[in-house]
Amino acid sequence: MTTTRENAHGDRPGALRSQAIMEIQTRQAQRLVYGRRPEGDKPTIVGLLRFATMLRPIWTGAAADDPYADWWLVQVERELLQGREHLEALREHVDRLLKSAPAVDVKLAQSLEPVRVDLNFSSPYAFMGAYLLADYDALVRAILTGRHVGLLDRSTAEKLLHEGGRAVRRAYSVAQGYRYLAVTREDVRQGTAKGRRAKEMLGDLPQEVLEGGLRAAHAPDIRHREEKRDAEPVDGAANPAGGEEPGEEGGEEEDSTAGLRQLTAQGA
């Protein structure tokens, strides 16, 4: 005879959860975990954690049939993929230089105390942002190694570091500008008050996005209200706000990130 035990959710399994930890080995990449708030004449730099926070309302909107949220996800996905391709090309260039040393097998420098960052994200695009940062971290290690062994001069190394960091910053910044207005495709098609307000604030939409023919590859399923009650979220399920660490408007992004220790790595 088979018996089952009833849990807090009655006869249904609880929400699924997963765990992911990212290891950072360079200070350059660590700075892009947090980014920078505007300081004087220095502009804002969107870091990974802020990027993940900005994705939360976009993800929620895309699941609620907001075509603007879908359009933002398409652009975010495009920039993330282009960023990874660009970093891969830079890495291949540096790797060729490292292999050019005559009779010397150059090993990449490694941090004696890498930083471990918990990734409590509810959107796959936040994780894709982490993969982009991991690519940059590996690129920085290769560049600093090349400079240390005399295969890259200071000017070339700094140029490559800046170019790689710019690819990450550009991808993260694309998530800016979206506002959740509880608008749907039908609102936009019918020109309702919500639809008109969204157009005034967020601009025009590509027709393919409005018709639903163009969506990001990892976009959430579009759910109606009755379907949302039965949804079983993953990762951020325990936190209705989405589960990312920090960065709500007006909050400090650094406060709730655990597991960061003093980083020892090459380079300033």
Q: What is the pLDDT along the chain (268 residues), one digit of tens a residue?
A: 555 555 665 678 888 777 899 999 999 999 999 999 888 888 889 999 999 999 999 999 999 999 999 999 999 999 999 999 999 999 999 999 999 988 888 889 999 999 999 999 989 999 999 999 999 999 999 999 999 999 999 999 999 999 999 999 999 999 999 999 999 999 999 999 999 999 999 999 999 999 999 999 999 999 865 554 444 444 443 333 333 333 333 333 433 333 333 333 334 3
How confident is the model at residue 5, as a pLDDT? 58
Confirm whether 168 is domain-assigned.
yes
How confident is the model at residue 55, as a pLDDT? 97
Confirm whether 124 is domain-assigned.
yes
All residues at 6 or more sequence positions from 190 whose CB lies less than 8 Å from its CB, including other chains: none
Q: How far apart are CA 81 and CA 142, in angstroms?
A: 21
Beta strand 115-118 pairing with 35-36: unpaired
How confident is the model at residue 267, as a pLDDT? 42
Q: What is the residue type of 37?
A: R
Confirm whether 260 is domain-assigned.
no
Number of folded domains that form the chain: 1
Confirm whether 75 is domain-assigned.
yes
Confirm whether 31 is domain-assigned.
yes
Confirm whether 26 is domain-assigned.
yes
Confirm whether 136 is domain-assigned.
yes
DSSP annotation of 46: E
How confident is the model at residue 249, as a pLDDT? 36
H/E element, 154: helix 154-173
Q: How far apart are CA 178 and CA 233, in angstroms?
A: 23
Beta strand 45-46 pairing with 115-118: unpaired
* Domain of 122, in residue numbers: 21-181
Confirm if 86 and 165 have CB atoms less than 8 A apart: no
Confirm whether 118 is domain-assigned.
yes
The reported pTM is 0.79
How confident is the model at residue 143, as a pLDDT? 97
How confident is the model at residue 259, as a pLDDT? 36
Tokens 């951020």 found at: 236
